[in-house]
Structure 1
Amino acid sequence: MHDHAPDAAGIRGASNRRLLAISLGITAIVMVVQIVGAVLSGSLALLADAVHMFTDGAALVIALVASIVAARPANDRRTFGYQRAEVFGALVNGVILLVLAVGIAVEGVRRLADPGPEEVAGTLMLVVAVIGFVANAAALWLLSAAQKRSINVRGAYVEVLGDLLGSAAVIVAAIVIVTTGWTAADAVASLFIAAMIVPRAIALLREVVSVLAESAPRGMHVQEIREHLLRATGVVDVHDVHVWQLTRGAPVFTAHVVVEDEVLRDGGSGALLSELQGCLADHFDVEHSTFQLEPAGHAEHEPHA
């Protein structure tokens, strides 16, 4: 993860940790407002959205802690540092989302099957839902830039997006209740919130699994990289290629490069290494690359080649 100082982007240019902290504050305040509103209005959808925001608040705490841990420098035991902490934080977030979806769905079905005598105060429900929608929109805007470079912030962004959609669903349900008196719209909105959580959680968990399985980053093709490297002067072959990512936006690359004997004999190894690393950095945004330069015929002595 890369933290950046504030820049021309304004408050969105703040570091990931600062953005997560601001989003956490917004989430906590709105959560309290929604809980109070749910109790006073009797709205299950509002309560479900409040529970969702409570879970997101916990997820933001996890993300914030993970970002602090990830900033720790590398050492002799953690040679790549602690950037994978972001991935584990995203994993916890995804699991929380799935558990939340099941809980909301069960309660929503129960309310539809047995509505009970409870009345829903649609007007109060609507006011609180609008407040939640505006706050979630602000938090989403804050995280929109940082989520593109950090899987950890991406997890928080996805959850805030879910909150925004949840608030929109509650607003629609409240309008239906106010205009028609059909209180079952409250339970329907709760089921909608549960349904929209599942695919988001699965997508986040899929990305986490891809990182932990050390798969090549999406959009990065080994054959294309190999072809670029083969264009370098003196390169005969490229094999034993490995590319993975520590976390979103932190790809790592290693390869064995067979070079002409003249390059090694004339002391051109340093210049060739700089050219190869520059190729990866410029064309594929890979900042951490390792190459093993070897003469022709050396691969025959490698049992795994």
Structure 2
Amino acid sequence: MSDCGCRPTGLETTSQRRALVVALGLNAVMFVVETAAGLHADSASLLADGLDMATDASVYAVALLALTRSARFKKGAATWSGALLFLVGVGVVLETVRRAFAGAEPGGLWMMAIGLMALAVNAYVLRLLARQRSAEVHMRAAWIFTRADVIANAAVLVSGALVWATGIVAFDLAVGLAIGVYVIKEAFEILREARDAKP
């Protein structure tokens, strides 16, 4: 799309819709898989990543609704996405702190297996969205969400390997906390872009 500020063409809208539908479906599935695995493996980082997947799915759904709407609606959609991401980040931080005091015994092999699956899914979604990334704020917000996921997935994979190799629970808690903090940082980036976007 050019920088003229025009709405996307019909072909661009169709391509964006297709990418977002695929991203929404994959993230919804991975939310169920990672959350269930996080509870089973008693892993703060897997649970945090699973909740982040749920947030992503909702952001992709909002971006789908925004495709054929006005610039003002798209700006509002990006703002809503950023606010939701911020709340999830705060929730992840609080849950990780709670687990630090309550005690946990995460399963390293589960963390590695599910983390690798999530990384593959999000790497594919990131490449898919990068092709459709445009000057429109709602699509940039979706891409930023996915970029954060790829980093979080890699961190879960590494922490799983460290927990499995050493038996030290702190690696899982540290990554869970780091995911929460990083999610909050990404939320502020989306909110800043939404604020600066032209209505």
Structure-2 separation of matches of 1:132 and 1:176: 18
Q: For the residues of structure 1 that align with 2:42 and 2:78, how far apart are their CA atoms? A: 33
Measure, in 2, the Cα distance between the counterparts of 1:14 and 1:145.
13
Q: For each residue in 1:179-215, what CA deviation from the matched residue of structure 2 results, as whole angstroms up to 9, or x when unmatched?
A: 000012111111110111222211211121122xxxx
1:45 positional shift: 0.7
**Secondary structure of the structure 1 residue equivalent to 2:67:** helix
Q: Separation in 2 of the partners of 1:4 and 1:176?
A: 48
Partners of 2:152 and 2:10 in 1: CA distance: 31
Is 1:83 matched up with 2:71?
yes
Structure 1 residues 22 and 3: CA distance shift in structure 2, 3 A = farther
Partner in structure 1 of residue 11 of structure 2: 5
**Residue identity matched to 2:95:** E
Percent identical pairs in the alignment equals 29
Higher relative contact order (CA 8 A, sep 6+): 2
Q: If each structure's helix is expressed as a fraction of its own residues, which one has the higher value?
A: 2
Residues 1-305 of structure 1: matches in 2 within 5 Å? Answer: 1-3=7-9, 5=11, 15-68=15-68, 70=69, 82-112=70-100, 114-116=101-103, 118-211=104-197, 245-246=198-199
Structure of higher CA gyration radius: 1
- Separation of aligned partners in 1, 2:137 and 2:9: 13
Cα separation, partners in 2 of 1:3 and 1:39, compared to 1, 3 Å = farther
Q: Is the 8 A contact 1:115 1:184 kept in 2?
A: no
Following the alignment from structure 2 to structure 1, what is the Cα–Cα distance between the partners of residues 102 and 161?
19
Runs of 4 or more above 3 Å deviation: none
TM (norm. structure 1) is: 0.60
| Structure 1 stretches lacking a partner, 5+ long | 7-12, 71-81, 212-244, 247-305
How far 1:3 moved relative to its partner?
Answer: 4.1
1:14 CA drift (Å): 5.3
Distance 1:186 1:153 in 2: 32
